[in-house]
Structure 1
């Protein structure tokens, strides 16, 4: 029987292991950084300071609308975006300057603003939305309890 001599772990082997390790780490970081920069900007509001100042006013307005029994809902039905706004008795609220901003939750594409007009089921606008998830932000003009800002996520099959 011949005895085989075990191979030595040399400095060259250590250099190869170290370079391979850091090469994989750097490659993964580059792929993730490029992917992140191409997908979502991260921009939620233009000026966070101004939005923080508006927060309390908006919170108080929403609280007053909820306490008054106002109910809001959005849906996408038969090629129409529908917004329903009713008072505590279930009657449709008379609103002016009703519009909806529609956008994808991530990506900043396919954004559009639609004027909503009164219909038998509330306020509606015809729009062809591709299937997927959409965020809808409905805003109105002044009401007795301040303007309405209602945001809801809608899924189109």
Structure 2
């Protein structure tokens, strides 16, 4: 004679275990996401957005003046050097500028650097710097002898070195 299996019923204890398990998973996921959110980029672009907004019209006017000059800049990373080239509207190099660059990662903080580029040729400014592979946001400021400023933001991709 075969034994008759006892029926298993879904009881209140089973329901309690399911509900507690569900909320345990939800809480664990939320804590994990909160942990990684606090360890990554804060998303802060300016310290005080109200104060920054008060200078917006001045920045807009400066951008119009810069566009009227017709200057054209180019930024590259060549052989461990950050190289900036600046030319006037006619394509002639612009020598004698004081050039600085703020280099930062667009998605996280901690690798930000302020660099001062030295003239290496007519209209060419460079600085040796070791940049890790990946995307960099570079803000370039140049000031001419006559006091005319130039400012431009660049995105720079540094490729990973291939080694034999």
Check the 8 A contact 1:64/1:145 in 2, yes or no. no
Query: What is the total number of aligned residue pairs between the two structures?
Result: 157
Deviation for aligned residue 1:146 = 4.8
Match of 1:151 in 2: 153
Deviation readout 1:90-149 (Å, 9 max, x if unpaired): 112345331011111222122211111222252111112122221111112367795222
Match of 1:138 in 2: 140
Which stretch of the first structure deviates more once superposed, 86-95 or 43-52?
86-95
CA distance in 1, matches of 2:137, 2:69: 26
Check the 8 A contact 1:95/1:140 in 2, yes or no. no
Check the 8 A contact 1:61/1:146 in 2, yes or no. no
CA distance in 2, matches of 1:144, 1:52: 28
Check the 8 A contact 1:40/1:108 in 2, yes or no. yes
Match of 2:162 in 1: none
Which stretch of the first structure deviates more once superposed, 140-149 or 6-15?
140-149
Stretches of 4+ aligned residues off by more than 4 angstroms = 1-6, 142-146
Match 2:130 to one of 128, 131, 138: 128
CA distance in 1, matches of 2:41, 2:91: 40
CA distance in 2, matches of 1:95, 1:48: 35
Deviation readout 1:48-104 (Å, 9 max, x if unpaired): 112112222212222332243221221101111111222211112345331011111
TM-score (norm. length: structure 1): 0.86
- SS at the partner of 1:20? helix
